[in-house]
Amino acid sequence: MFVQSHQTPASEPEGRGVDLWMRRQVSEKLLGRGGIIGRRYIGGTDADRERYARWVERWDAPDLARRTEIARALQGGPSDLVDRSKGFATFEPGRFAHTTEVVEAARAFLRDADPVRAKVAPAKPQLYTRLLPREEVTLDSPFLRFALQPAVLEAIAAYMGAVPILHDVDLWYSVSPNTDSFTNSQLYHCDWEGLTQVRLLVYVNEVKPTDGPFVVVEAERSKEVRERVGYTFFRDGADQYGRVPDEEVYAVVDEGQTHQLDGPEGTVVVVDTARCLHYGSRVERDASRTLFACQFLAPTSFVRPLRPDLRATYRSLATPALPELEALVLGA
């Protein structure tokens, strides 16, 4: 039987889980769409979020200083692979080690646990996520061998200006929702978790224009759009997060200046989804898209202060034998 991972905590916790559950409930009331902090700062404008980020920087200043020092040594060198003004980069199959292993492992896993065949409820009508159980994510797995390789970590650290924290490792499966209208992440948006974050994606199958590839606006142009449309990261209404219709984006940036990130199997994509307006999963009928997806958060992520349980998802995997860079990324 197929079982989705990362399950939501039960509403009636027992025993030692009570304290963790209470922290989650309190933080959600502060951080969520209707929360005092969430609505005013994290879910506000760029200026609101920058004010909040300055407070977060003081939360764990020694850790931030250490992570910044390591990243600074990587900037301007061969690891500096992502142009910060653009906020994204694509790499051909074979550019990074372990890519083929990730593709093969993801395919094998989904053959045995097809979410559509198992009638698993998708996270969104067009997108299944949380498909990779936590027990599959080990230091010996192809998933972490890929995500923790020095070439990947150094590139992300150089881009962010600090050694990041690995927050999530997952498989995404997109299908057509069989509707002509777009909703949620099929509309232009920026992710809320910080001023910067990186989604590292590996294409498990060829992603053609019909398969719902990511479409991205460069980071600096995205900021211009957000300023012009008065973008806020959280909005009122049925949709929790800020979305922008295509026509509003294209009134500022010509559609021809956006970037459709299709590519063959094994393509690797790095996208700063906090700085770059983007959408995905506009999958046409009878098409699909499968991605291996990693989320790297900045040490100043807005998730960290209010969600101690999410401070470092994979911290338990950080052993003394690991190189310093890998250990820091795991949350040591």
Report the CATH number that the domain containing residue 322 is assigned in CATH.
Answer: 2.60.120.620
Residue 125: what pLDDT?
77
Q: What is the pLDDT of residue 179?
A: 75
Q: What is the DSSP letter of 237?
A: S
Contact between residue 105 and residue 194 where contact means Cβ atoms under 8 Å apart: no
Q: 130 and 6 in contact (C-beta within 8 Å)?
A: yes
Whether residue 10 lies inside any domain: the answer is no
pLDDT reported for residue 6: 45
Task: Give the model's pLDDT for residue 257.
Answer: 95
Residue pair 18/9 in contact by the 8 Å Cβ criterion: no
Q: In the chain, at which residue ranges do the beta strands (DSSP E only) sit?
A: 88-91, 127-128, 165-175, 197-203, 215-216, 259-260, 268-271, 278-279, 288-297
Q: What is the largest CA-CA distance in the chain?
A: 56
Q: How many helices (H) and strands (E) does the chain have?
A: 11, 9
Quote the CA–CA distance of 195 and 95 in Å, as a whole number. Answer: 28
Q: What is the pTM of this model?
A: 0.88
Domain assignment present for residue 7? The answer is no
Task: Reduce the DSSP state of residue 201 to 3 states and report it.
Answer: strand
- Which of 205, 208, 207, 212 shows the shortest CA–CA distance to 185? 212
Residue 9 in domain: no
Q: How many domains is the chain built from?
A: 1
**What amino acid occupies position 203?**
Y
Query: 208 by DSSP, 3-state: which?
Result: coil
318 within some domain:
yes
* Token duo for residue 32: 């969520």
Which residues of the chain fall below pLDDT 70?
1-28, 31-34, 114-123, 236-240, 304-311
Q: Is residue 2 part of a domain?
A: no
In a domain, 8, yes or no: no
Domain assignment of residue 153, yes or no:
yes
Quick check: is 195 in a domain? yes
- Nearest alpha carbon to residue 143 among 202, 223, 70: 202
Amino acid 302: pLDDT: 85
* Containing structural domain, residue 41: 15-330
